[in-house]
Structure 1
């Protein structure tokens, strides 16, 4: 008996038992209408073609554990509908992700790169400050790191304000020379 004469229920039973000809008949009977059904929703030829082929590939691979709760055609149409929903969700996610990357590329600020450069610059400056003579370094750090005024530093170290001012100016001149004017401006 030719497979075209079998009804869907009989073809489904034969498919579950691994009958390749029954599978081929199901494919020939439904692939065109499923493609048209998908195309009406998506309007994308290649995606619809891939979707239907994927459906039939899955049908063959999972033939033994597939349960047809309604009819074979109902199962196939529901499967196509679900695959359409999955595809639309993926496209929406992809579009959203692409848009977020594009927005970031246009207006984004690369925090990690900035922090790395900032830390490198700080390390270079700290090294140059450490190379200053001990007394100069102490006065400079009290001024720039502890934010003490010239008067407060002079009082704490028992120096004149003019000595503190001259020492800080000399330290700045040395650092400006060693670090270059651009690095100094950022400091």
Structure 2
């Protein structure tokens, strides 16, 4: 079979119906080239092996979502991309990897307000804001969004300016951490970092 072409529509239809031989055909048709792409991204054979298996497990489990009017290759590669992103998200939770990425891509660690300039970043920022404890969220909103001074925020919330300062530091760090590790830009830079090792 010429692997430069798509598998036939009848094979895709059979896969959607749960036909295992059809799945095997699709696996053998796409797995070799996909494995090489994954290996290029992660650089470790064992990891690439696991990710490839994860991809085709998802292909099988999500087969009912296949759009028979669209190329199945693009759908499979999209699943692979998401698996790679998930892999780097897990790596980012490791403290050493986390610090290494921050040290090497500090440009992603900009002032939080800059994220308001981009719709996607703003959506991530809103999610980060919602994760803050209520009092910390109020302080962040008053000082960073509304531009109030520590004294003004302290008066509104009936707390001391030093409490406002301490809580704002924690809120800002929490916001930046969340935005940094949940934006697509981070994923792109993380992959680039790994490729350049």
- TM-score band (shorter)? 0.3 to 0.5
